[in-house]
Amino acid sequence: MPAPSRRFTRAELESFRDHVVPDLLGPDLRLLFVGINPGLWTAATQTHFAHPVNRFYPALLRAGIIERPIDPAAGMTDEDREHLRSRGVGITNVVPRATAKASEISREEFREGGRRLVATIERTRPRVVAVAGITAYRAAFSLPKAVAGRQPEPLGGAELWVVPNPSGLNAHETVASLAEAYAAPARAAGVLP
């Protein structure tokens, strides 16, 4: 049974500024999702995409990428992490340090994060990488005109997709539209038929 969702005060969340959330990686990594950077709630729970209004896990479920609900708001269980790994799904971030807003990340941090991401991809060798957020992708790789979707060039030897950011701040996306966007790289990775 999942743990009940936590509530944090602003002061509690602020205490997690600059914390790092470990990558979620497994031995049979087929699809690596890449967030911009951890938010403070994510850092507090040590769980990627954990904010209660983030639509990442509902979109994965709707797309069929995961086969059971995951409620990360209180922190993922070991079973949740194993379920993702067993499906060949991993999660990392362009920039590892937690901030309240992505706008707190410098251009150089994004570029350094891009270099770190390539090294992670080369080490873990996923079939497909899906960067969740066009702005982060453009900043990390100095590609101001990049568009969402499958990218023409691989990244670190993996097929590369840029998909919508699941944050609640990305108001024009829905769980349904995110599920559709996430299903395409999942099919390319062999996670979905």
pLDDT, averaged across the chain: 94
Instruction: Please say if the pLDDT value at position 4 is more than 70.
Output: no
Give the β-pairing of 149-150 and 89-93: unpaired
Q: Summarize pLDDT for 122-135 with one digit per residue, the tens.
A: 999 999 999 999 99
What phi and psi, each to the nearest 5 degrees, are found at residue 32? -110, 115
pLDDT in tens, 99-147: 999 899 999 999 999 999 999 999 999 999 999 999 989 999 999 999 9
Q: Fold for domain 19-189?
A: Uracil-DNA Glycosylase, subunit E (3.40.470)
User: What's the whole-model pTM score?
Assistant: 0.94
pLDDT number for residue 2: 45
Could you give the maximum distance between any two Cα atoms of the chain, in Å?
Answer: 45
What six digits make up the tokens of 57?
Answer: 């896990």
Stated length of the chain: 193
Q: How is residue 56 written in tokens?
A: 């990442």
Question: Alpha carbon 159 to chain centroid distance?
Answer: 16
User: Can you tell me the distance from the alpha carbon of 107 to that of 135, in angstroms, rounded to the nearest whole number?
Assistant: 11
Domain boundaries, the chain: 19-189
How do strand 149-150 and strand 159-163 relate by DSSP bridges?
A: antiparallel
